[in-house]
Each structure stands twice: as structure tokens, then as C-alpha cells.
Chain A
Amino acid sequence: MVPRAGTSRLAAREVQPIKPVKVAEASASSGAVTSTEARPVVELRGVAKRFATGVEALGGVDLTVATGEFLSLLGPSGCGKSTLLRVVAGLTPPTAGTCTLRLSGVGGRAAPAGRIGFVFQDPTLMPWSTVAANVELPFRIAGRLRGAERDRAAAALRAVGLAGFERAYPHQLSGGMRMRVSIARSLVTEPDLLLLDEPFAALDEITRLALNDDLLRLWEAHRPTILFVTHSVFESVYLSSRIAIMAPRPGRVVADLPVPLPHPRERAVRTSPDYAALCDRVSAILAEAMGEAR
């Protein structure tokens, strides 16, 4: 393993555009190419959003997310990445451009209920409902909550390590556990697309690292398509198969690069030279983008 000192002081200029890393997974080593060839789940064409206040949150974003991809939207606060996520979810209409979703069964712009999972920065649980009832909410709304659905909710809670907490109320859980409940709820309908809006930003470092690993395991096991908003370089490199870097005023994608780190990714990856090199490169692009914006 590379000593810690070596990871932090690796010069950015020495790193050449993503050396192919020998990995078992072909798709991971050639991320960018694969993503354009595979059927995109999300297709954004010139998506712009101007708020009533005159703030131009998004200025013409083109972006595609391929099936099974883990794409991180990385950028500083106020670069419109959360707005972009809300546009994809259909919660905010864009002022220009098109957002096309290809979800199982239905094509076009309207998202069928339950095909998209959303995790907010806050756990966003109903405090009056038990953990189980919170996770079962999508089924309750869909009007089909029977034994099979209850089993699926229990399975989703098991998947995030919360078996046995079904009857607890949110206030009885820690912040990290609440976020796990929120993730379980987003997974319970087995969505084609999972949207996560800085889900770990409010958590402490230890919990955050643990949840990073949990999310990676879930993605490696089921390969849902994930669009993940973060402002952490290290988090985005560790988790994603591809990173779209955004800059503010107006919000736009300035760089799009694959993350050819091998899977399964373990904690050890965080101290590997490849990881450090990628983080440096991403940081440099981010700094450059911020410089332009200033």
C-alpha cells in the first residue's frame, strides 16, 4: 500500500489522462465509451433553468446517463446540480431544453410512479410513522400494500442493515440510521433510476464513510442507474463510474470523465495511487472551472 504522505502530495501535472487500469470489469475501464454506447436512461438536451428571481441556475446542459451507470454530479454550492436533479425527477420544469427518461415500460418525459427513487439531503421521513411504514410509503401511495410489499420493505431495510428496526420511530434512530431508512425507501420499488441529492452531506465523517461503502455494495450488487449529487471530490471518485463536473453562473457541465477504478471497491482504494491521481485531476478541473467562473 502507498503511504499516506504519497497520496496527498502527488503532483497534478504528472497525471496523464486516465491511464487504463487493469481491472476485471471491462465496462469500468472504458467508462466514457461504454456510456455513450449503452442505452441512456436519462438524456438531457440543452436543459436550462431560469428562476423567477432571474437567477440562471442551469444554462444549457447536455448530459446522458447510461443504464447501470453511477454518475456523480460534482460541483460547488450554487452550480445548479440539485436543480438538475430536480429537473430529471420531474419536480422542476426546465425553462428550455428537453429531459428524456427511458424507464421500464414507459418512455418519454413523464416518469411512472415508483420508477425513480429520490434521496434528499435530509432523511425526509414521516416522524409519525414507524420505520417500516416509511419504507412502505411508495406502495401505500400506489394502493397496493400487501404481504409481498411488506416483505420487500423488510428486505430493503435488511439491505441497509436495519433489520429489527421496523417498529422504531425515526426520532429513536441516529442521523446515519435515518439516512439508511431514506435509502431503503428509495430502493424498495426497485427503481430504474436512483437520484441522490447530497445524501451524506449532513452526516459526520465516520458515518459518511460507512454509508459510502454501503451504497457501493448496493450498486455493485444490483447495478441501478444512479445520479449522485455531491460537492466532495473524494466521495465522487470513490463511488462513481463517471463524474460530470459542474461550474456555476450559469450552471453547466464543464468536464465529463470516467472513473476507471476497479470493482469491488474497498476502503483500500482510498489509499491507492490511482485514486489519489484521479482525485488530484478532478480537483484541478474543479479549480480551473471555479477560476473561470470568478
Chain B
Amino acid sequence: MSPRVLRIAAPLAVGVLFLAVWQAFARVTGMPPYILPAPSDVAQSLWTDGPSLLGSLLVTLRITLAALAAAALIGGGIALLFSVSRTLELSLFPYAVVLQVTPIVAIAPLIIIWVRQPFLALLVCAWIVAFFPIVSNTTVGLNSADRNLLALFRLYGASPGQTLLYLRLPTALPYFLAGLRISGGLALIGAVVAEFVAGTGGTETGLAFRILEAGYRLAIPRLFAALFLLSLTGIVIYLALDLLSRRLLRNWHESAGAGDEE
């Protein structure tokens, strides 16, 4: 079997095997569905509750994507400021770390109280979780320009703006994209955690709230269905960002397989 086929077939086989064992276990032991639903129960729930769950997914997805966009924009901007002024970086970077290591669950209630608009409150929570990898990665990237190339730019009389545009930014791009891939998953986690904390605070209900609600009602198959949709979303976000990264870097960066054809 070619490695390419194996890459898809092997995990798929493991997944199918896992589901089969799960199904058999649930049926043989006769576990009630409110403790351990069989995959078939989950599939049925996915079918019947699908449309309403998809509506909730859309709410969560909107928060996630908005937070990711804000993280990319503001995180990239902060990194740019850091690269311009070392003093600024030294004085502010520790606080970015503080924001990163403080559990979002602990500060989410505060944010929800302070920011009245529910969508915005959730957005801020998800953004706090997502922005750090982009800031730290991009800052490293902007400072990683080849020393000899920097010397060459000086020799040809390049302005700081030109050095940034033609040298520092392209150097930082792979770092930024690596940060973005991490942040994609984190934005989703941030959005879900914020929704958990916010509860029904808003008029719209996201997927996280549906999970909570299903748990209270012991509608465990629906809980699993919502969970399934959530993981699927995370995977799709990751794959999309990975594709974007490969597209942008395919001509030159090792991470995108440049040089493989040699």
C-alpha cells in the first residue's frame, strides 16, 4: 500500500474499528442511552436534531471565526509594534503572558459582566485565548531575518519600511501561519468555554450551551452529536488553515514541502 493511501486508510480503519467495538459494547452490556449511547443512537440524534444543532453551530462558528480574525489582526499588529520598539516589547510582553496563563474560565464571568453585548463578550473571551500564539510566533519571526540579508539591505540603502516589507514580513510569514494554525483551535475552545460560562446569557444559543442543556436533560445522544459537530468543526478549521499555509508557502518554505522534488 502506498504511504499516501495508508495515511488515509489507517486512521479510517482505526475509527471504524473503534465505533464497531463501541456499538457492540453498548448493545451487549445493554447500557441505557443516557449513560452510554451507542454510535447508532448518536447518528440518529444527529439526523433528528441536526438542523437545530447546525443553527447552534453557526452561532459558535461566527464567534470562533470573528475571534480568530481579531487575533490575527490585533496579534499581528502587536507583534509588529514589538518588532519596531524593543522597549515596547520588553514592557508589554510579560502582560501578554499573564493574559495567556490566566485561565479563561476564571476571567470570563468578569468579561461577561463588563461587556454588555453578549456576542462581543464571547468574542473577547475567545480572542484572549487565541491571540497569544500569533503574537509570540510573529514576534520571533519578525526578529529572525537573516543577518547577512539585513546587512545587504543596509548596503543598498533600504529604508526601515522597505526592510520590513521586503525582508522582515516575508521572514515572519511562516511563523505567523504556524501561530494562526494553533490559534484556530484555541479560538474554538475559547468560544466554547465562554459560552459555557455565559450560559443562556444571550438570546442566541451556541453549541456549548446545547451540550450543557443536553447534559441537564440526560439527552446524552444529543450531547454526543453536538460534541461530534464541535470536533468536526475544529478539524475543518485546522485543515483550512493548513491548506492556506501550504498555499502561501509552497514556493519556498520547507514546511510546505518546497524542495521535495529535488
Contact = CB atoms under 8 A, between A and B. Distances in A.
Given A126-B170, A127-B252, A116 B155 contact: yes
B155 A113 contact: yes
Contacts of A127: 252-253, 258
Nearest to B250: A169
A42 B261 CA distance: 45
Interface in B147-164: 148-149, 151-158, 162
Contacts of B155: 89-91, 111, 113, 116, 118
- A interface, size bucket: 20 to 34
Interface residues of B, number: 23
Interface stretch (A70-78, A138-146, A257-265, A283-291): A138-146
Max chain B Cβ within 10 angstroms of own Cβ: one of A91, A124, A128: A128
Interface string B232-260: 00000000000000000001110000110
Contacts of A219: none
A69 B197 CA distance: 76
Contacts of A172: 259, 261-262
Max chain B Cβ within 10 angstroms of own Cβ: one of A86, A111, A120, A127: A127
Interface in A126-174: 126-129, 137-138, 140-142, 169-172
B11 to A, nearest CB: 31
Contact of A140 (B166, B173, B252): B166
A54 to B, nearest CB: 22
B167 interface: yes
Interface of A: 86, 89-91, 111-114, 116, 118, 120, 122, 124, 126-129, 137-138, 140-142, 169-172
27 contacts: A86-B151, A90-B155, A111-B155, A112-B157, A113-B155, A113-B156, A114-B156, A118-B151, A120-B152, A124-B148, A124-B152, A126-B149, A126-B166, A126-B167, A126-B170, A127-B252, A128-B251, A128-B252, A138-B156, A141-B153, A141-B157, A141-B158, A169-B252, A171-B252, A171-B259, A171-B262, A172-B259
Given A90-B155, A140-B166, A141-B153, 7 more contacts: A91-B151, A114-B156, A118-B151, A120-B148, A128-B251, A141-B158, A169-B258
